[in-house]
Every structure is written in C-alpha cells, then in structure tokens.
Structure 1
Amino acid sequence: MSPPLDSTRFEQIRASGDLPSPKGTALAVIRLTRQQDVSTAELARVIGADPAFVGRLIKAANGLVAFNRRPVASVHEALMVLGLPAVRTMVLGFSLLSHYRRGACQAFDYNRFWSSSLARALAAQVFAERTRAAPADELFAVGLLGSVGELALATLYPADYAAVLEAASKPGAASLLEMEQERFAMDQCELTGAMLEDWGLPRIFIDAVAQARDPEGTHLAEGSRARRILQVLAAARGVAEICVSDDKAARTMLAARLFADAPRLGIERECIVADCERISSLWVEWGGMLQLQQPRAPRFAELFEQVEAGPGSAAAAGARAAPAVRPRNPVQLPVAPSQAEAASGEGGAHPQRALIVDDEPRTRAGLRAVLEQVHYEVHEAGDGREGMELALELQPQIMILDWKLPELDGPDLVRALRQTRIGQAIYMILLTRSDDDEHLVAAFEAGADDFIAKPLRPRVLAARLRAGQRVVRLQQEVEREHEEIRHFASQLAVTNRRLHEAALTDALTGFPNRRYAIDRIQQEWSAAQRWGRPLSCMIIDLDNFKQINDTHGHDVGDEVLRSAADALRGALRGQDVVCRTGGDEFLAICPETDLPHALSCAERLRNALDKLSLQAGDTRVAISASIGVAMREHWMPDVDALMKQADLGAYLAKQKGRNRVATVQKTGDAGGVDAAAD
C-alpha cells in the first residue's frame, strides 16, 4: 500500500488546473449534493439538463432494483434508489469518462483504461449485491474511479508518462509504480487516494482501493467490513483484467485465481460463474452506451470449465506457463494527437485536422476540395450540435462554420467552444452571406478568428487558410515551450517533494516526524468534524529507554528504536499512521476508529513490542511500551485536548506498572477507566 500523498503537494497539483475534474452538469450536481438541505426535485432538475447523464443514472438504478419491482423510469426514482453519495460519485465518474476519453499521452490507452474501469465498476456492484459488503451502487462508483490516479498522471505529464509506460513495458524493467515514484516522486495509487479523498469518498473505500492491488498484504481484520470491501474490490479488479486481456492463457490463469478466491469472498463456486457471466453481459451493454471500443467479451463459463478440467488440461498448462503480468496495451486504438504533437500540415506524419460545419452539402464539398489541397484531414458536420460534439472529440486545428446552422447557429457554437479548453486552441472561421461591419464585429465578438463572405472564392479561402496555419503553428510552438516548462517544473517538484519528505521523516526509524504528525492529526481532526466520524490517537512511550541508553550506550538505544519501529509497522492497520514525536515517544493516529477498537489496536501494538528483545553484550534487553489511548469527543475544543487525554493515558499506564494500555476516558462497556493487563 502506497503512503498517502502529502496535502501540500496535492494542493500544488490541484492548483495547476490540469488535474482531471468534473465539468458542467457534473460539477453543478456535486456542489448541490454537498449542501445539507438539497432537495431531490432540485437535483433532478439539474441532472435533467444533461440527457446522457439521465440515461446512465436510470440504467445504473435499474441494475439495482429487485426483479419483481417495476423498472426505474425517471431521474427522481433513480435518485431515490441510488441515494445522494452514490449519485455524486457516479456523476463524477461519468463526467471524467466523457471529458477524458482521449488525451495527449500517446502511450496511454485511454479506451482500455475506461473499459477496464467500467468492468471493475460492474463487477464491484454485482459482488456487493451478493456479499452485502457495502451498498452496491456506492461500490459501482468506487470501482469506476479506482484507478483515476493513472489517468491523472497521463493528463498532468503526457510526454513524461508516455516515456515511463514505454520503459515499464520492456522485459526486465522495474514495476510501473516504482518507475512512477522515480520520475514523479509519487505513484498512481497515492494520487488516486488523494483525489478520492478530495472528492469526499469515505476513508473505508479509499483504503480498500489502495490495497486492492495486493490484498494479501493487508492488515485489515479478517471478517471486518473493511476487509470484505477490500476483497470485493480485489475480485472486481481481477474480473476487469480478464475482460480487457486478449491473451487466452492469461485469461485462464486470472480466472483460476478468481475461482480459487471465490470462497474467501463469500461466494459459492457455482455462483461466481453466474455472476461473472452477468458482469460480462453488462460490460458489453454499458460499453455500447458509453461508446467504448471493447475487445470481445470473455466467456466466463468456458474459462471456469477449463479451470475445473484440472492440471492435465491444455488450458491449465497454458495458465501455469503464463506470467502474472497485466498486458499494458492489448488493443491499440487511435488516439487523437495533442495540438503540440500534430504536424505542421505540410506533409507531416500527422496532418492537421479541419472540421467543416455547414448544412449545405455543395458548400461542404467545395470547402473539402480546398482544404485537401493544402493537406488537411477533413471532417464534416451538418448542424451546430453535431459540430460541437465532433469538435470536442476530434480537437481540430481549424474549423470553418456557417453563420446559420440548424440546432445551434455559428456564433453561438463559437461562444460555446471558446468556453472549453479544447475550443480555445481551435482557429475558427465564420462564413456568412453578408460582409457588412455589423456582421464583422459580431463574428469577432463571438470569438471567431476570421470571417469569409459567401460565395466562396477558392484563392481567397486558400490564402486565409495559410494565414490560419501560421497562427496554429505559433500556438503549437507556444504549447511545446509550455510542455518543456511543465517538464522542468515537474522535475523541480520531484526535487522539492523529496526535500520536503526528508524534512518530515525521522531518519532513524523511517517514520514521519513530529512536524508531520501535528499537520496530519490536524487534517484528520478537521475531516472527523466535517463528516461526523470517530478519531482516536495513541501515545506510545517506550519503557525504561533512558536506562537502556545510560547502561548500554546510544548504539543499543538506536537499535531498540529501530526494532520498535519495525514491530509497530508490522502490527499496524492499513488506515493508521505512526509518527516518532520524541526520543522514545511515538504518536499513532487512527482515523474512523472509536475508543474500544483503538484500545484493541493498542493492545496488539503493545503485544508486538513485548515480544521483542535485543542482545547487548552478555545481556538481553527487553522492550516494552506504555500506551495511552484517547478518542475525540464533542467537548474537546481542538487536537491538543485529544492528545492531552492520550498523554494522560500513557502516564496512567506507567503509574500502573508499565507495559500496558490505558485510557482516562470511559469506554462503552467498562463504564470507567480501562487499562489492559500485561
């Protein structure tokens, strides 16, 4: 599990404005759902403005209603079925899919990313329905966004991330996460966690997403809700890998792993086949609705039959021989090049793209002839709304559009495109039958770059196009320079982050230091206040440490601290954070943890330390700790009050003989001071 991305670095990334984020209707929905008194009617009205979102939400809601109930047919009914948290996260995911289905990172397969995310979302939903680990609609949304950090790196650093992906695909290369850390001082898992937290997802889901890549290494308690959610997301990830893989042996191997893990997930082996067949069917259906180009859907029944055939089957032999490697880009699909990477239009490998928007076929044919003569790749649209969709999808360098268009006229289309990041880079020429000053002023005020009066004169049009090409080339040069600056800035950010991490890390134990601890517990305090969630902390004070130092020397004292840190690290839960705050004192921060569970966790830490001992010359040095535990309560004014209660607990533990856990707060079942025995 990757460590969390520090808040300062994430704020810097977010402030750049390049981080994938919701737009339009999705942004309005997310803002509304954060209000305490938002009405379903108001939310339905906002969602109703976007027909695509309406269809997707109703379809998601119908996937959750019981078979004996009538289907959901309205936005209002969908909201009642899904609930506000799921709606917020689903709308966020669908918005990102709509706006980031293409991008500038040439080595990143955007279509495969979204196909895999969709399969993971559907699998999480189906398995959640079966296991009751969490609301199925919420896990659908979590599955859809579970790898958003990968998309973010491709969006933030397209050229650098392309180089990382290409290097990671070579035989014998380091893992992708390691190479991401080396290049960017963060990896996709850290960035995913930071983005999900920023979007307000519950911590229990964020931690499960972070550990789904390696569920075997989790410290989550067996049978706990958090562990069940992790198992669902890990299984959903396996189903997604099967869906997007085009290698038969790899699919069989992945199916064997999934089949073996079915009992641990709480699903009978017969049911896992039916569930996976349903997921495959839903994946194809949703993929068509979302306009994803998917590989052929796997036949899970056949895969599981091959697994059941046993070690002697050819399929099983292929599965044993296949390496457990996720294919990076099994299906190579065309990706629209960025403005900076497009060729100049004069015979380059990637000709410039031009979009003609006119409702007269004869006019479009004449424009096409002129554009093709100067080596443009030409696309056409017959009305304003189709022109808007194609402009956002194709990202043309030049658009020629008529003043009067069905659905959306030329000036309004120019205004709408200028409000988008893609539209700001397009050179737009408006066509009109009038060349008076009023039309000229109106065209430029709408945001057009040039203005041509009908009937068209080919030589004049060609000259105007050459002028437009010069402007586009200048834009491309500016963008290339901007990309170089971003590259240098990212390198500087990596260096700064490493220096920042060094300033926040205790060199001896590798734990965060006191400065980090104070910032982090303040963040968790604010989150606990905002969302009404429990927060606990522990003061861990090593027993007789000064005596060990005085008797055996500082070398032995340092070894005691390192050994204690390793023991604490091994006994921690995934969501907990331990920092070294003083010579022999540690602070453990336990988000979403009430007092009884914090006491239980503290006892596990105490027991792990109690089992340690070191050889110092002819003497065995015992290691133990007195641990004070406290939970945030409504009467506490600030973090200092919480830490003071934990400190009093540690003092009480030492008074009672050391090597124990204590609290000065009342627990739910003890009715008074609770201190664990040795």
Structure 2
Amino acid sequence: MASPIDITKFEHLKASGDLPSPKGVALAIIRLIQQEDSSMGDLARIIKTDPAFVGRLIKAANGLAGYNRRAIASVQEALMVLGLPAVRTLALGFSLLSSYRDGACKGFDYGRYWTGCLVYALAMQAITQRTRAAAAEETFCLGLLARVGELALATLYPQEYGKVLQQTLEYRDVPLVALEQRAFALNHRELASAMLTDWGFPRIFHEPVYFAEVPETSGYADGSREYLIAHSLNLASYIAEVCLAEEAERPNLMGRLFEIGARLAFDPVAVSELCDGVVREWQAWGSLLELETLEIPPFGELASRGEALAASLVPAPAEGAVSQVVHPGHSALLGGEPQLALPPEVPPMRVLVVDDDASMRGLVRKVLETVGHQVLEAHDGKTGMEMALEFQPQLMIVDWVMPEVTGLELTRALRQTKIGRSIYILIMTSLEDDDRLIEAFENGVDDFMNKPINPRVLAARLRAGQRVIRLQQELDRDREEIRRFAAELAVSNRRLQEVALTDSLTGFPNRRYAIERVQQEWLVSSRTRRPLATMVIDVDQFKTYNDTHGHDVGDAVLRQVAASVKGALRAQDIVARTGGDEFLVICPDTGLDAALACAERVRFAVESTPLAMSGQTLNMSVSIGVATRDTVMTEPDALIKRADQALYLAKNKGRNRIMTVQSLRPGPLVPPR
C-alpha cells in the first residue's frame, strides 16, 4: 500500500499556513456542511452569495443529469442532484482554482496545470459513469484535485520547485517524483494523498491518488474498487496529457491511451467516444472557468493518424515483436518467385499469425514482410487470443488444427468481443471437406487458405482481405462523422431552444419559458411544502414613451427597466418578459413579506435610475402586483392571476407602487399533502 508522508512533517507544513486551502464562500460552505444541524436551505443561502460558484454548481449538476431530463436551473435542484459531499469538494476545488491561478513559481505553468486538472476531472466523471466504481460527481472533484500536490510544492517552495521542473527537462529519464524527493524529502504523490486525507476525502479516494501514476504497483486486487479508481485516475491523467500535447505529438500517444483503456475493459472505439465527449465538456467548462482550451480532432481520427505513422516506421526485427517492414519500393524473392510489394497508396496492415508450427509461421511471416505488412506471431490459440485483444491486429491468419484451442474456437471467442468482431480472419487448413468449410464460415471465419501455402495465392488473398478492411475503416469513419454531426446537431438544437425561449430585446426568458418554469417551481413547492411567490411588473405609462419619443426610445426604456429589475432581484429569482411592457418574476422559497420587500427594491431601483437620451432624461416607474401561494390555489395559473389582480389594484391606486390582495397574517402557504 501507500507510503504516506510523515504526519509530523505534514502537520508542520499545514501549520505554516502556506499550503493551498479554501477561502471565502468555499470555506463557509465546508464549515456549514461539517455542522450536524445544517440544512439544504442554509447551504443554498450561502452558495447564492457567490454567483460564480452558483453557475459552476449548476453546470456540474447538469453534466451528471445528462440530456434525457429537464435542465437544472436552480441551486436547490443542483444540491439534490449532487449531494453534500460533492458540493463540499466542488467548493474546495473551485476555490483553489480561483485563488491559485498564478503564483511565484516561475517554472510552474499555472494555466496549463488548471486546464489539465479540468480535463482530468471531466475524464474521471466520464470514466466512472461507465465503470460505476464510484459516484461520478465525487470523482469529478477527485480528478480536479488529484494533482494538488504539484500545486502545493510550487506554492510552498516556489524558487526551489522551479529548479526541479527545470531539471525534468535536463534529466528526461528521471521521474519527477524522484527529483522532488531528493530536493524536499517528499513528493507530489505523497503530498496530494495527505492533503485529500486532511480535507476529508475517504480512503477509497485518497489512497488510489497516491498510485494514480503507477497503478500497477498498488497491489490492488483486479476488479476491486480501489483497482478501478487507481486505473481510472491513470487513464484520466493520460487523457489530459493527450489533450495538452503538441498537435503533431497526439497521434503518437494513441496506442498508449488504448493500452491504458484496455485495463478497464474499454476498447479503442469506447475510449475514442469517451475522449470526444470529454473534449466537448472541456471546451464548455473552459469558457465558464476562463481557462484556455484547445481544438482537438476526433480521437478516432488521431488513432488513424497514429496507425499511419507507426506503419511508416521500420523497427528492428525481434522475436515476438513487430517484424521489419520491407520498403514498398523493394522487391524480394521467395521460393524463386518474385513478390510485388504493396502499392504506395495501400497502407500496410497489422497482422497476427497464430500457428503451433514455427516453420509455417516463419513462411507466412516472410510472405507478409515481403509485401510490407507488420507481423506478430503467437504459438497457440490462447496466446493468440491475448495478443489479439492487446495489439488489435487488422487481420489474423490462424491455423485450424492446434492443441488446446483450435483456430475455430479462437475465432468464435474473438467474435464474442467488440475488438474481435472487427478483425478479418483467414484460416489455414489442409482439410477440403465442404461441410467443414461451411462450419468455419458460420463461426465467423472470413476466408480460408489450403495448405501447403502458395505465397502468390496468399498475397492475393491478403489483398482481397485488405479491400474489406479498408471498406470497414471507411464505414467506421462515416459512423464517427455521423456521431460528430449528431453531437453538433444536439448543440445547435439546444441553442435554438434557448433562442426560442429568450426575448431578443431584453435577453430575458420569454412568456413560454415563464409558464414552463412556474409549473416546475409549483411542483417543487408541492413536494417540499416550501413557499412560492410571484410578481407581475408593468411599466407605468409605457405607451406615452412610444407615442411621444418613438419606438426606439420605447425599446431603450424597456432595456433600462429590465436591467434595473435584474439588478434588484436575488440570485434565486427568475425574471421573464411576458408581454410588451410586462414582466413576471418567480420567487422560489419566498413568503409574502419577503416577496413584498423584494418588490419594493425593484420599484425603487427603476424609479432611481432615469434614462439619458439625446440630452434629455426620462424618469420611469413600475407598478408591481405580488402574490404568494396559499391553500386556496390549486394550480399555477391561480398564483399568477392573484398577482395580476394586485397589479390592477396598484395601477388604480396611482401607479409607482406595490400591492397585494392577500393578508400578511401568518398561515399555511402550501396545502398539506
């Protein structure tokens, strides 16, 4: 298990006050959650004092909710979706991001660090949504803070850590943790684990963080939660590395990415889809957090480029490794017959030869090398299965008759896996029985070859197989293009929906949105038995502005009133423009007295903010009707109608005032269930 930092040393570092720590609203949130008698309402009130955190919290909740449910738009809903532990750690992570965007360590790239942590967080969330090893909202926070040990060292020892980072450029073969250990007698892995422990992360999280960079050394049992979390952290970290790599370097990293993903039983297609989703979320979050992000092609495209680059290399021959590829421009002699190399436009394939006869493997290998393919060998069916899943060849040449696992059994087993279904399989046999060949095709074999092998016929069958493989690759690319188009279409549809629900003049939601939202808040009020209030606001004498000054001035008046109203409302209130000069405000969790106080702030804000137009000043005012839900009301329309009645009364009383037709006496605001 882990070798944690000496507790005395950590307490000394903590006592220095220099370790990164939460501040402001985040600290208040963390302290409140630690109190046993704290409530969601208390927490919501603290959160609403920080509009930036409100936006990030709701964004995080919507990331978990997915596209199949109504979008979350209030703090209360976000709290219910995320839960207190995740809110606590989100507050912690976002507070550190805000407070430590830069620092004194010149060699530490703070912007790259934080945008990398964001990718790390989003990747952890996406991975655990598939593995179910932990709650995705908690692993988002874990990913955001998993590298906090590096930030801590840059904060504690800015000059010295800058020198260590410079040494990583000079001594590329020496791990960063070794250089840190030599300089500070501790490293970022130990420090991160200790800090997460101190912040209250459970052991199931803070211990795997120590092993995130080297999960194979953890000793965790395969398939255990600790194993899955440690390897998920490793995969998420590598996804961040790929995203932040130089454009030309990314294709070279794809093989390693797929190898790490395979430890979690993710095939390359699944890894590519996961990473594409992470990149889309990264770009959306980057805008919200003011972090730089990069445009990255689809990962399937990066993988194809990586394969092409690998195919262009000429590795040294080694037993059990990829064989040397003959340059396409060369020719070779085999058995006295000239063999043509691959045409320049045809890329070489990764081929796995599975046969228990070494001489037969050597013969086939020589043919394959001659025409430019890359070759791996397996001496039995079991090894062939393992190598096929690990190296993912495009084509396999398999002997039918082998001890323990026959070629037919190997084919059946491969066809039951997602990776194996895409491999073109050619089986070698000395049997010419038609029934046996039919059996082979029915079990997933694509082609067959009679023994003894004729090199020219084998080369011809390889070319035929390659045509099928190219068609499959084109189909995969088309599917990827369709998936990407579908994702872009979904984004466009969401934007169109936003436009359909938005008033273009004021930027407020429109009447359609307001009606839907009132119904949502009505249901929440019914479920929680919390109060709900509304205000109907009307601009006094608005027709006069249009008639006297023109519609341009009328529009300017509406925009000015909208800005004053928005500035006077609370973070939890929802305002919409429902008519020409009429606005509706929805006030969740608000009784009549609080709604009246809020309405007075709105009225005063409009009255005290005149509009300067072409050398003249226009004074404006509004009349406001206020209502709160009571036991008589049976539907949302009744609540709005009551506020309308109050507005009518305010106008009859002389305008520029607030009115209600309800009593201020205390009583039940929501019917009992």
Q: Under TM normalisation by the shorter chain, which class is it?
A: 0.3 to 0.5
Q: Which structure carries more relative contact order (alpha carbon 8 Å, separation 6+)?
A: 1
With normalisation by structure 1, the TM-score equals 0.47
Higher Rg of the two aligned structures? 2
